[in-house]
Amino acid sequence: MFKDYFTLGWEHILAWGAWDHLLFIMALSAIYTFKDWKQVLILVTAFTIGHSITLALSAFNYISYSSDLIEFLIPCTIVVTGVSNTFFKKYGGSGIRINYFFALFFGLIHGMGFASGLKSLLGKETSITIPLLGFNLGLEAGQIVAVFGLLIFALLMLLVFRVNRRDYVLFMSGGAAISALIMALDRIPF
């Protein structure tokens, strides 16, 4: 059972249709380089914590919400993150701490996006602790793979192809934000 939910969490991030999560990870990590890998891992772990909180609260029926609204808000979180990256003048220190807030808070929203699907998979499980743990660890593992892929891509762009860092950040952040904006416009709930 644990393995099945781990795989589900892994695929939730790395499956072909997981564009919203991949775009969010892309926007979050766009301002970092490979030397910042520890910071990025903390960042995606904050996202997983937020995601896990609302996933658990929903699975235990402590919160309810409009799934149409959440599906609209998910790409909005990516737009906000991508656009905020364009305002940074320096890519280190306290100026980028807002990304930790984005990761945690927006993780709450993203967690609600998958909660109804997970609840239907759980069915009449007597204990949801193992399934939730497996799913969230799979999610975290998938995010780590995605982040390292993006950090390696940044390393290639910045060091091998000598792309200006500001241009790289604008390209990655803008690409994520524009893609998410298109997604959001398709999901307007009213």
Rg (CA), the chain: 17
Is the Cβ–Cβ distance between 54 and 108 less than 8 Å? yes
Return the pLDDT at 95: 58
Global confidence as pTM: 0.93
How large is the average pLDDT for residues 89-96? 70
For the cut 90, the answer to whether the pLDDT of residue 93 exceeds it is no
pLDDT in tens, 18-50: 899 999 999 999 999 999 999 999 999 999 999
Query: Residue with structure tokens 């904050």?
Result: 46
Expressed as residue numbers, the domain containing 155 is 2-186
pLDDT-derived band at 94 (thresholds 50, 70, 90) equals low
pLDDT-derived band at 92 (thresholds 50, 70, 90) equals low
How large is the average pLDDT for residues 162-174? 97
Longest dimension (CA), the chain: 55
Domain count, the chain: 1
Instruction: Name the burial class of residue 179, with classes exposed (0-12), middle (13-18) and buried (19+) by CB atoms within 10 angstroms of its CB.
Output: buried
